[in-house]
Structure 1
Amino acid sequence: MKIQAEHVVSLTYDLYVTNQEGVEELVERTTEEQPLTFLFGAGQMLPKFEENLDGVGTGDTYDFKLTAEDAYGQHDPEAVASLPKEMFEGQEMPEVGNILPLQDNHGNRFQGQVVSVVEDAVIVDLNHPMAGQDLHFKGTILNVRPATPEELDHGHAHGPDGHHHH
């Protein structure tokens, strides 16, 4: 079956990014036992990721690259936040390199990586960890099936076989 909107796709992927030496490194991998399963066309995935898979079918392999602009955007040097140390009272002080789960005023969750800890604040980089990087995806389409009415209603897949997650 071919991938199209309102279908649930299960696939494996290897994600490569090019390191500073210009060599592609594997940074993420899914397996047939633990595939990526998503409702196609529901806006859960990067739009260009879906565009590249449109019309690909079960059992097909794929191999495509996304530029940083089509993936998580360029690295924004302005996207840093200074969090007052009082925020961390009563808990362990974060260290450089830690990833902190944060929430904005609208309740959107995101992550920031601690870049430095100064006298009265923790400085956090809010860029996506993959910002500024071209992504190279290779993988295999394991399964494509029409989404169930419940999945369409919920706007996400309920696993490779359509059974509800518990």
Structure 2
Amino acid sequence: MKIQPQSVVALTYDLYTTDNGQEVFVEKATEEQPLVFLYGVGMMLPKFEENLSGLSAGDSYDFHLHAADAYGEKDENAFAELSVEMFKGMDLPEVGSVLPLQDNHGNQFRARVTNISDSAVNVDLNHPMAGQDLHFKGNILNVREATAEELAHGHAHGADGHSGH
């Protein structure tokens, strides 16, 4: 079966970014711990899915995504200053640490601490991979039709269609 909307895909990948012209390994999904997802429902980067369209189990892939097609370019305005008052009663975070935050609409996101002063904690609200080109290499392990339950829930329930609940 070929990868198409409403199919569940299990795959391995090695993900690299480029730093000063050198490829840097970021993370991977293995045969023992594959990435399993419902294709075509917006869970994955659109260009990631586009590059996998029509592949079948046993196929390998190797493609690059420009930053604009991945997590976007770095937004120089996506920085914020949080008052140290927000951290009253707890230790101040360290530079480089990631804070789980929530906006007024309940949307959750992560912010990386870039600087700490006596009055403020400065954070970068960009996705950690914003501004980076991505290189994916891997193999398609399995492609199957999604179950009615998976389609109703909008996500895959594992490589075999059964959730571990």
Name the stretch that deviates more: 110-119 or 82-91: 82-91
Match for residue 82 of structure 1?
81
Q: Which amino acid aligns with 2:72?
A: G
Q: Which amino acid aligns with 2:79?
A: V
Q: Distance in 2 between matches of 1:9 and 1:90?
A: 46
Match for residue 69 of structure 1?
68
Q: Give, in angstroms, the shift of residue 133 of structure 1.
A: 0.6
Q: Give, in angstroms, the shift of residue 12 of structure 1.
A: 0.5
Q: Distance in 1 between matches of 2:39 and 2:32?
A: 20
Listed as ranges, the gaps of 5+ residues in structure 2 are: none
The alignment's C-alpha RMSD in Å is 0.7
Q: Distance in 2 between matches of 1:151 and 1:72?
A: 26
Q: Distance in 2 between matches of 1:160 and 1:90?
A: 44
Q: Distance in 2 between matches of 1:8 and 1:109?
A: 26
Q: Secondary structure at the match of 2:12?
A: strand
Q: Give, in angstroms, the shift of residue 153 of structure 1.
A: 0.3
* Residues 19-55 of structure 1: CA deviation (Å, up to 9, x unaligned): 12x1111111111111100000010000000000000
* Residues 97-154 of structure 1: CA deviation (Å, up to 9, x unaligned): 0011111111111111000001211100000110001100000000000001000000
What fraction of aligned residue pairs are identical, expressed as a percent?
A: 66
Q: How does 1:69-148 map to 2 (within 5 A)?
A: 69-148=68-147
Q: Distance in 2 between matches of 1:159 and 1:84?
A: 42
How does the TM-score come out when normalised to structure 1? Answer: 0.97
Q: Give, in angstroms, the shift of residue 165 of structure 1.
A: 2.9
Q: Secondary structure at the match of 1:100?
A: strand
Q: How does 1:32-47 map to 2 (within 5 A)?
A: 32-47=31-46
Match for residue 10 of structure 2?
10
